[in-house]
Amino acid sequence: MDHLSSAPALPGGPAGRSAPSLDDVDWAILRELAADGRMSVRTLAERIRVSRTNAYARLERLAADGVITGFTARLDPARAGLGTTAYVLLNIDQNAWRTISDQLRDVPYVQHMALVGGDVDIMMLVRTPDNATLRDVVIAGVHAVPGVRSTRTWLVFEELAGRRSLV
């Protein structure tokens, strides 16, 4: 973990400031919470070997700095009724990202959206109950947004879980 404490801060904070630097204890907190966001502060403190007061203060700072943005449950999409997954790649009118992304947020079943560099402009992760719903999302939802020039849909056959830890 020594490589983390000496790594430069990443850009992206408010008003062009660098992200807050994180030490080994901060990273340990983030790893533990990524594995189990429901654990108590007492359990967290025991696992990372700091006092409850220290763990609580660090959690408050990480939240105030925007490093921790919330807590959520991880779902199994297929068991939740969303058995069809696809990446939908979009080409859009130049300089229209903000307008188009605002409208795409209203399209149902879009789980994630990113402006990307390369041959396409936007990459979306879409999870739907079935292929017919996926077709409707792409044709009636995405293509209905002014400024979307074209799409390519890549159906996902199988997904593998990535590492749960941050490092």
Alpha-carbon Rg for the chain, nearest whole angstrom, is 20
* pLDDT given for residue 79 in this prediction: 92
pLDDT of residue 5: 38
Looking at residue 9, its pLDDT comes to 42
Residues of the chain with pLDDT under 50: 1-14
What domains can you pick out in the chain, each with its CATH number?
2-64 (1.10.10.10), 84-155 (3.30.70.920)
Model confidence pLDDT, tens digit, residues 113-149: 999 999 999 999 999 999 999 999 999 999 999 999 9
Report pTM. 0.73
Dihedral in degrees, nearest 10, Cα atoms 13, 14, 15, 19: -20
